[in-house]
Amino acid sequence: MRQTTCTNNVGLLSIMAALLMTAVPSSAAEDVVVLRQADMKAMAAAAKSISGMFKDPASYKAVEFRWAADTIRDKSGVVLAGHFSIEAAGPQSKAKPNILEERDRFDRMANDLRDYAVALDAAAEKNPGPMPASMRMKPGEPMGGGPLGTHVRNEQELSEMPAEHAFHLMLQTCATCHARFRME
Ligand code: HEC
């Protein structure tokens, strides 16, 4: 008798567990889509703030510039890549299904974004006062980049280029990834 009760409880528990298991993956997938879209929006706001300071250097404030760079740093790299690791993203997502097939390319762009953000943070840390000319691109300086050229060749090259140049390469990385992995 005692044993029967016990078995019944186990049966009930396993039904509940099964119900939970079917409910959890889909809502977790939706959560991650909401989260990654919010992160993308936060990065867009941060990029806009940096862009404004390059357009009007008098408005440059190192603290705000760093905060924006750090926002992008903290939402790129493995954090960004990790938000695109599930297959069934749901209808509210604009992510293309080729992300999983082209994992390496996607992850590399997520990491490039982080490298650029780290370089921007370092530039602002070095320049707490007004924005020096050394942070700006010189007139006529080739932008570099292009679909294959956004990849950071090495850390030294990155730390030597003006912050504005790194910023443009960063924006190209956003655009290149969207062109390949985001629906119109
Ligand atoms: C490694 C690839 C990749 C990079 C780099 C990247 N994005 Fe995205 N972004 C995506 C994908 C994929 C989506 C679609 C996500 C979804 O809907 O699930 C997206 C969506 C967005 C959205 C729309 C969010 C929404 O509410 O639907 C914005 C805005 C955005 N990205 C801005 C940026 C900015 C700004 C940068 C650069 C600072 C950037 N992204 C870099 C892949 C990337």
Quote the pLDDT of residue 148.
Answer: 47
Domain for residue 39, yes or no? Answer: yes
pLDDT in tens, 38-83: 999 999 999 999 999 999 999 999 999 999 999 999 999 999 999 9
pLDDT value, residue 150 = 60
Structure tokens at 123: 């530039």
Cβ-based neighbour number of residue 158 at 10 Å? 18
175 touches 113 (CB < 8 A): no
CATH code, 46: 1.20.120.10
pLDDT(11) > 70: no
Q: Which tens digits make up the pLDDT trace of 73-121? A: 999 999 999 999 876 567 889 999 899 999 999 999 999 999 999 999 9
- Structural domain that includes position 61: 25-181
What tens digit of pLDDT does each residue of 123-170 get? 999 999 999 999 999 887 766 554 445 666 678 888 889 999 999 999
Higher pLDDT, 9 or 93: 93
* pTM of the model as a whole: 0.85
Q: Is residue 17 part of a domain?
A: no
For residue 76, give the ligand 1 atom closest to its CA: 5
CA of 170 to the centre of ligand 1 (A): 13
First CA to last CA distance, the chain: 63
Count the domains in the chain.
1
Task: Give me the count of residues in the chain.
Answer: 184
Residues having CB within 6 Å of any atom of ligand 1: 33, 36-37, 40-41, 43-44, 47, 72, 80, 89, 93-95, 106, 109-110, 113, 170, 173-174, 177-178, 181-182
Å from CA of 135 to ligand 1 middle: 26
Confirm whether 5 is domain-assigned: no
Is residue 6, in this structure, part of any structural domain at all?
Answer: no
Counting atoms of ligand 1 from 1, which one is nearest the CA of 81?
A: 1
For residues 161-182, give the mean pLDDT.
95
CA of 182 to the centre of ligand 1 (A): 7
What residues pair up with 182 in beta bridges, in sequence order?
95
**Phi then psi dihedrals of residue 182, to 5 deg:** -120, 140
Number of neighbours of residue 44 by Cβ within 10 angstroms: 12
Q: How many angstroms is it from 53 CA to the middle of ligand 1?
A: 22
d(CA 147, CA 142) in angstroms, rounded, equals 15
Question: Which residue owns the Cα nearest ligand 1 atom 41?
Answer: 174
Token pair of 31, please? 């959560």
Distance 10 CA to ligand 1 centre (A): 45
Question: Is the pLDDT confidence value at 31 over 90?
Answer: no
Q: How far apart are CA 138 and CA 3, in angstroms?
A: 82
Q: To the nearest 10°, report the CA torsion of 157, 141, 168, 172.
A: -90
Instruction: Using the mean position of ligand 1's atoms as its centre, give its distance from the Cα of residue 178 in Å.
Output: 6
> Is residue 11 domain-resident?
no
